[in-house]
């Protein structure tokens, strides 16, 4: 089985594939204090908790936007499963031509998402990823990665607001009962949920107008299901898009990695 690892700024997300089927997923905090030994033990324990026998993990792939954690998780895979993981980076076969001015600046997760979206639609697409940053990634009808937009994520924006407003306190990011908030909690929730939904719709429309052709719009990331409900431009939500993209890239590089 394949262990796919998506290292983000907030969480590390793991997915276990048996062939093309995603058997299970789990996530842990992206802690830079844990050692590779600690991650190895933790991942093995979580696999067992999800009814996956660790010895059945025969291959692994990692995409990371946190360089200090890339080697830590890579070593954890080697120590925990006696396997060297494939790491998404320069030289890997993605099937996506990267038209960014400096391809090395593009986060690995954004390329993985682009590969997964084009594999699914075989046409122009925009991926909206609700993570620590909310990113918009544009894929041409020929499967080229064109670039996109980076916006501070919803949780980052909320944290920034609370850090600078003395009279506001923590609230859960959830859908309020109406757009007009009748208390401070609902007013903040409306600003985050409806504000980001409107931001998504506005940016997607601008991107499509600039590109000059229709695009399928797919959302992923932790808040995708919540915010997509209030948008008009998102066609589909797939919270596992990045993991699926990792499986696709592993298939494309299996022989070379072996």
CA distance 238 to 221: 8
Quickly count: other Cβ atoms within 10 Å of residue 25's Cβ. Answer: 15
Q: Which among 85, 37, 35, 81 is positioned nearest to 64, based on CA atoms?
A: 85
DSSP 199-256: HHHHHHHHHHHHHTS--EEEEEETTHHHHHTT-SS--EE-TTHHHHHHHHHHHHHHHH
User: Is-contact 14 77, C-beta < 8 A?
Assistant: no
Radius of gyration of the chain (CA): 19
Cα distances (angstroms) measured from residue 118 to each of 63, 96, 124, 158, 245: 18, 9, 7, 32, 10
Q: Which residues are catalytic?
A: 109
Cα distances (angstroms) measured from residue 247 to each of 7, 20, 28, 100, 127: 15, 8, 20, 23, 17
Q: Which among 47, 39, 45, 37 is positioned nearest to 15, based on CA atoms?
A: 47
Torsion angles phi and psi, residue 108, rounded to 5: -60, -35
Tokens 């830079």, located at residue = 32
Structure-token pair, residue 52: 């996956």
């Amino acid at each position: 089985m394949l262990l796919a690892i998506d290292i983000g700024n907030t969480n590390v997300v793991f997915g276990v594939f048996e062939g093309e089927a995603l058997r299970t997923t789990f996530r842990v905090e992206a802690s830079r204090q844990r050692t590779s030994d600690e991650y190895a033990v933790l991942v093995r324990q979580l696999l067992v908790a999800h009814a996956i026998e660790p010895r059945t993990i025969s291959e692994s792939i990692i995409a990371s936007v946190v360089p200090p954690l890339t080697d830590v998780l890579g070593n954890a895979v080697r120590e925990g499963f006696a396997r060297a993981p494939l790491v998404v980076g320069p030289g890997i076969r993605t099937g996506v031509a990267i038209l960014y001015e400096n391809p090395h600046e593009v986060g690995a997760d954004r390329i993985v998402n682009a590969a997964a979206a084009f594999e699914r639609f075989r046409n122009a697409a925009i991926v909206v990823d609700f993570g620590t940053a909310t990113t918009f990634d544009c894929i041409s009808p020929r499967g080229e990665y064109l670039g996109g937009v980076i916006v501070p994520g919803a949780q980052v924006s909320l944290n920034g607001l609370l850090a600078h407003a003395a009279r506001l306190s923590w609230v859960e990011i959830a859908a309020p009962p109406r757009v007009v908030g009748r208390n401070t909690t609902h007013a903040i929730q409306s600003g985050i949920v409806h504000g980001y939904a409107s931001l998504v719709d506005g940016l997607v429309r601008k991107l499509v107008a600039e590109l000059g052709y229709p695009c399928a719009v797919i959302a992923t990331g932790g808040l995708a299901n919540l915010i997509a409900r209030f948008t008009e431009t998102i066609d589909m939500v797939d919270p596992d898009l990045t993991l699926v993209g990792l499986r696709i890239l592993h298939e494309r590089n299996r022989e070379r990695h072996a």
